[in-house]
Structure 1
Amino acid sequence: MLRAASETRAPSTTAPPAWVVVALACAGQFLVVLDVSVVNVALPSMRADLGLSAPGLQWVVNAYAIAFAGFMLLGGRAGDLYGRKRMFVLGLGLFTLASLAGGLAQEGWQLLLARAVQGLGAAVLAPSTLTLVTSAVPEGAARARAIATWSAVGAGGGAAGGLVGGVLVDLLSWRWVLLINVPVGAVVLACAARGLRESRAGAGRRLDVAGALLATAGLATLAYGIVRTEADGWTAPGALTALGAGLALLALFVAVEARTTAPLMPLTLLRVRSVASANAAMFVCGSAMFCMWFFMTLYAQNVLGYTPLEAGAALIPSSLAVLLGSKGAPWLMPSLGARNVAVLGALLAAAGFGWQSTMTADGGYVTAILLPGILMMLGAGLAATPLASLATSGAAPQDAGLVSGLVNTSRTMGGSLGLAVMSTIAASRTGDRTTGAALTEGYALSFRVSAAVLLVGAAVMAVWLPRKRAGASA
């Protein structure tokens, strides 16, 4: 009999090996994160082929981001109630079909619709990836290593977007930045159908429809307002209206959840110190770190004259540094503690961002891209694993999917807000000037501000994160 207060699984099947579950979850997470950035280098080709306007081109990226952020909490709770494997398969199937539709699009509106559906599939899929990992691996050192792999693959997906996109566009066409998901998604789907076992929590509970609608509408509207600021500025009426409406909807969501007997997100969950502090830290760090790939790619291409493929290749060492930091964190966590490793990662990243802020218009690869990039992403990797471990360690089984959705939401919303703010800061310094020196001044200022944000984040983590040594015990 299924019990709402505990994790439940189908008893008729043998539990798959933990490494199989982790591998499948990481494959799904890689696809989700890769598609946030892989289309960037293909945008000029998309515009030329489909006749997209400049605003329409921006929405190729934004349609995915808004749907992804807006439906994340709903996707996480649906996994708790209806099954993590079911939501994994449903989300990946939707994502794969939308990728096929986008790759075959003949009109601009068809591409934008496909990207929005991709984001919806990603929002259903992403929370299940982390929940499958935490459900398959017992809490302790083994789970910390599994989460490190999940974090590394996710960060690697975002980092690899520019390189993968550049290769596909140069060798094939822009359509393959979407079509490549189809064979990969089909293989992962077939393996998931055979290799995953169903698990859920909260049987007998109903989905909080009012809360789901308010949370989704609030997050999607807030994300829409954030992306509007990138194009229209922070004082534009449309952006301010959307931001205000998003915050109002989220405030109404909190009020409804406080009165609901079976809420979408129990507010008591935010009283758990590890959950609240780790998500806040992830939001702050994400707001500073996410812009790194964006500005480094622009700096390499617009100032140093790299091609898209060369720019992607130039950031490969940074991508490897993320993997090294994420996989190295579990080895440090037993002796230093999760909190101290997260603080160390934020400080290393801040040092890298500070170094990068000394960039010049004629900088050399080693000192202007390679070394500061490695330092930034090594710190990002070190911070991500303990924060994800702490955020999920304090949740009850019936809230595991929701907490996983919250982790992804914090990171996504923090990154979106940070990119919008940093883009505005860079543009304010550059102004109407288009020379390499002027662009470099804007990029450098954004890196300095990011370094300051990371220092603040490190201080907050040192004070607020619990002392618990996640991953200290087997």
Structure 2
Amino acid sequence: MRPTSRTSDRSTDEAAETHETGETGPVPRRGAMLAILCAGMFLVLLDVTIVNVALPGIGRALGTGLPGLQGVVDGYAVAIAGLLLGGGALGDRIGYRRMTLIGLGLFGLASLACGSAPGAGPLIAARVVQGAGAALLLPGSLAVITAVYPGRAEQARALGVWAGISSTALPAGPLLGGMLVDSAGWRWIFLINVPIGAAAMAGVVAIVREPRRERPGGARPPLDRAGMALAPLALGGLVWTVIAAGHGHQGEAAATAAVTVVAAAAFVWAERRAAAPMVPGGLLRAPAFLGANGIALAMNLVTNGVLFVATLKLQQGEHHSAFTAGALLLPMAVPLALLAPVSGRLTARFGTRLPLGAGTALAAAGCLSLLRVGAGGSYPALLPALLAIGIGDGLIVTAVVAAAMRAVPPAHAGLAGGFNNTARQIGTALGVAVYGAVAGSALTPGHFVSGVHALAWLSVGLWLAALALTRIVPNR
């Protein structure tokens, strides 16, 4: 018999909370902190999926075509991808809680600007600022979670909850977006973020505590200003080069490619000479860390590329309403939300490689159904791919975050979270850019269908490459 085990376990949990947050008095339970931090990720993901079903309406209202619609999606994703590393480094330096609050505030203000935008240009600019707020928010919230749940098994379960709750944005986005677009208009898909963001900020102020971090000598590391300036140029330039090339703008593509190469070379040069580089050289030479982030990039590239093309097919090609299209996309979104906590439990028990291998293999097989998409009603052909990607992502999402976080020392938790989210957002931006460029508009059915068939093979290849990378990621 162990009559005092429950009391003992509770005391141990409270002691862990006290140690991790640096507090000596009563501390809010870790579950409440986790729930508040999940709200931030929910907002970020909501603004990926809720926008997709609104794209045709935005195009009609603002008089913009496919390149402008890609800008609405990619302006957000490129800003996140370019600024996440800087956001993680800033969080490591000035505090994760503070960066989470700043990110939420900026995100809310930018959402208000998106909802008030008079044209495509101002909307894309506001989406860039919105992405900057998300880039400050994401790594800080993830670093707090990994600090508050230091044990590997409990950390995997906590990350599963984080991924599961935040991933409910994926099924909520298409449905909520469709309802708002059909009833109140596309502007409300952005304006709804304002009260949610304000509530999340109040929760952070009331509940979340700053984790205590051990720094050598007790000093804050110097800020790598050169790295923070050059990373967005290199990453953003890469995505815009792909977009410009895909639309036949060869001069623009050449110019942005040149900027990308120069910025990337300058970034590498600056990082080698920085006293405290934003990306420590050891991380970029660690196969386990790079492998985990490669899987994350491939996952988001295929998922968001297929989501973008499927939305165009359902609304432009088959003339479904925004709400109906959102409902038809649920087979991708619901399994991800339901299986993310399961992935956390599998990772805690068996390690990261089992869920990663199963998820990538299943998604690869499902994407073969895209070869059956035709010019007419093609939802039965889309359905297996949507379902397989949703299940595969659900198995992958927690395990890939856990693998990336385990590949670095705890002192670099913010940077690791920023790097992993950077890889995913680069994947999102490239997925929309590449898949949109290859498929083109669904209003030209012949070109669109042949493009989707080519993308089917690309998707399978990317999933198989991700499957190969599972062999080098940290398993425990």
Give the TM-score taking structure 2 as reference length: 0.87
Q: Do structure 1's residue 450 and structure 2's residue 459 form an aligned pair? A: yes
1:294 alignment counterpart = 308
AA at the equivalent of 1:441: S
Pairs aligned (count): 454
CA deviations 1:307-343 (Å, max 9, x no partner) are 2211100122321111233222233335543113201
Name the CA shift for 1:112/1:150 in 2 (closer, same or farther; >3 Å): same
Identify which range, 189-198 or 349-358, moves more after superposition.
Answer: 349-358
Equivalences for 1:136-215 in 2 at 5 Å? 136-158=148-170, 160-199=172-211, 201=213, 202=215, 203-215=219-231
1:319 alignment counterpart = 333
Shift of 1:214: 1.6
1:82 alignment counterpart = 94
1:103 alignment counterpart = 115
Shift of 1:261: 2.0
Q: Do structure 1's residue 276 and structure 2's residue 284 form an aligned pair? A: no
Equivalent residue for 1:231, pick from 225, 247, 264: 247
Q: Do structure 1's residue 330 and structure 2's residue 337 form an aligned pair? A: no
1:3 alignment counterpart = none
Shift of 1:250: 1.9
Shift of 1:204: 2.3
AA at the equivalent of 1:237: G
Is the Cα contact below 8 Å between 2:20 and 2:147 reproduced in 1?
A: no
Equivalent residue for 1:18, pick from 23, 30, 43: 30
2:405 alignment counterpart = 392
Q: Do structure 1's residue 379 and structure 2's residue 366 form an aligned pair? A: no
Q: Secondary structure at the match of 2:277?
A: coil
CA deviations 1:182-238 (Å, max 9, x no partner) are 1111111111110100236454222111121122322232233233334336xx121
Name the CA shift for 1:47/1:448 in 2 (closer, same or farther; >3 Å): closer
Shift of 1:389: 0.3
Name the CA shift for 1:31/1:213 in 2 (closer, same or farther; >3 Å): same
Shift of 1:390: 0.7
Is the Cα contact below 8 Å between 1:341 and 1:383 reproduced in 2?
A: yes
AA at the equivalent of 1:418: G
Cα distance in 1 between the residues matched to 2:306 and 2:119: 32
1:4 alignment counterpart = none
Equivalent residue for 1:357, pick from 371, 375, 381: 371
Is the Cα contact below 8 Å between 2:53 and 2:174 reproduced in 1?
A: yes
Shift of 1:121: 0.8
Name the CA shift for 1:421/1:314 in 2 (closer, same or farther; >3 Å): same
Cα distance in 1 between the residues matched to 2:71 and 2:447: 27
Shift of 1:61: 2.9
Equivalent residue for 1:342, pick from 356, 372, 375: 356
Equivalent residue for 2:143, pick from 125, 131, 136: 131
AA at the equivalent of 1:459: A
Structure 1 residues without counterparts, runs of 5 or longer: 1-6, 470-474
Equivalent residue for 1:419, pick from 423, 426, 432: 432
CA deviations 1:392-424 (Å, max 9, x no partner) are 012222211111110011111123223323333
Q: Do structure 1's residue 40 and structure 2's residue 52 form an aligned pair? A: yes
Is the Cα contact below 8 Å between 2:22 and 2:211 reproduced in 1?
A: yes
Cα distance in 2 between the residues matched to 1:289 and 1:49: 27
Q: Secondary structure at the match of 1:418?
A: helix
Is the Cα contact below 8 Å between 2:181 and 2:322 reproduced in 1?
A: no
Is the Cα contact below 8 Å between 1:79 and 1:200 reproduced in 2?
A: no
AA at the equivalent of 2:452: Y
Q: Secondary structure at the match of 1:357?
A: helix
Shift of 1:446: 1.0
1:441 alignment counterpart = 450
Name the CA shift for 1:300/1:15 in 2 (closer, same or farther; >3 Å): same
CA RMSD of aligned residues (A): 2.6
Shift of 1:45: 3.9
Is the Cα contact below 8 Å between 1:302 and 1:436 reproduced in 2?
A: no
Q: Secondary structure at the match of 1:232?
A: coil
Shift of 1:73: 0.5
Q: Do structure 1's residue 401 and structure 2's residue 410 form an aligned pair? A: no
Is the Cα contact below 8 Å between 2:70 and 2:433 reproduced in 1?
A: no
Give the TM-score taking structure 1 as reference length: 0.88
Is the Cα contact below 8 Å between 2:153 and 2:349 reproduced in 1?
A: no
Name the CA shift for 1:53/1:281 in 2 (closer, same or farther; >3 Å): closer
